[in-house]
């Protein structure tokens, strides 16, 4: 079994979803949607299980890089799909070949449609995260934010949370992101 597809991973990732739902509730906010990065499905599905346990009407979505959107295509078709290639995106942490055997059946039950973003949209999200929030995000960790910023995850007039994760980004990629807006790099 691949490491991203172990039931313990789902349990651990589910705590992030629980924290999101509890923090929203403490603020008096009913979440409309949540999005999280997706590789094999452990984080996105785990987050969905945690969120939906406390907020069943909240839609939860997995964000993936374009061309490596095996989960989005799998959810749309109802059968596991494979990526044609395993490299070629800056979102190298998300390049799983296919959804996991454990995560896919759960994803079909708890995830809404997948969100697919380009590398350019990810770079824009990384730049904004640093400029506005002083967050250093690795490319794969910025896909959900990219989906919200591009309107692929509808946010206007809605209460939405996005999971941003990881700071493992090489200097050249991070500089490329910051330079997009004449950034602080």
5 pLDDT band (50/70/90 cuts)? low
User: Residue ranges per domain, the chain?
Assistant: 3-181
Q: Residue 117 — φ and ψ, nearest 5°?
A: -125, 155
The pLDDT of residue 59 is: 98
183 pLDDT band (50/70/90 cuts)? very low
H or E element in which residue 124 lies: helix 119-133
Is there a contact between 81 and 57 (Cβ–Cβ < 8 Å)?
A: no
* DSSP symbols for 50-111: HHHHH-TT-EEEEEEETT--HHHHHHHHSS----S-S--SS-GGG--SS--TTHHHHHHHH-
Q: Is the pLDDT at 185 greater than 50, yes or no?
A: no
The span from the CA of 1 to the CA of 10, in Å, is: 14
The span from the CA of 75 to the CA of 104, in Å, is: 8
The three-state secondary structure class of 137 is coil
Pick the CATH number of 3-181 from 3.30.1300.10, 3.10.20.90, 3.40.50.1100, 3.40.50.720: 3.40.50.1100
Query: Which tens digit of pLDDT belongs to each residue from 99-109?
Result: 999 899 999 99
Hey, what's the torsion of the CAs at 99, 100, 105, 110, to 10 degrees? -70
Residue range 75-82: mean pLDDT, rounded: 97
Residue range 13-42: mean pLDDT, rounded: 95
Residue range 151-160: mean pLDDT, rounded: 98
The pLDDT of residue 137 is: 98
Residue range 13-39: mean pLDDT, rounded: 96
Is there a contact between 44 and 62 (Cβ–Cβ < 8 Å)?
A: yes
Residue range 12-39: mean pLDDT, rounded: 95
97 pLDDT band (50/70/90 cuts)? very high
What is this structure's pTM?
0.92
Q: Residue 160 — φ and ψ, nearest 5°?
A: -130, 140
H or E element in which residue 178 lies: helix 171-178
């Amino acid at each position: 079994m691949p490491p991203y597809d172990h039931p313990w991973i789902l349990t651990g990732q589910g705590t992030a979803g629980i924290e999101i739902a509890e923090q929203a509730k403490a603020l008096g906010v009913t979440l409309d949607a949540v999005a999280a990065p997706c590789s094999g499905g452990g984080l996105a599905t785990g987050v969905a299980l945690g969120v939906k346990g406390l907020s069943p009407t909240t839609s939860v979505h997995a964000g993936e890089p374009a061309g490596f959107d095996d989960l989005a295509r799998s959810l749309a078709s109802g059968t596991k799909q494979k990526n044609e290639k395993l490299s070629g995106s800056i979102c190298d942490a998300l390049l799983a070949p296919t959804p996991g055997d454990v995560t896919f059946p759960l994803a079909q039950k708890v995830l809404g449609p997948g969100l697919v973003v380009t590398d350019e949209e990810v770079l824009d999200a990384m730049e904004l995260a640093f400029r506005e929030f002083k967050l250093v995000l690795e490319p794969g960790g910025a896909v959900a934010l990219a989906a919200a910023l591009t309107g692929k995850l509808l946010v206007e007039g809605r209460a939405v949370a996005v999971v941003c994760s990881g700071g493992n980004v090489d200097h050249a990629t991070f500089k490329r992101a910051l330079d997009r807006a004449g950034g602080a790099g």
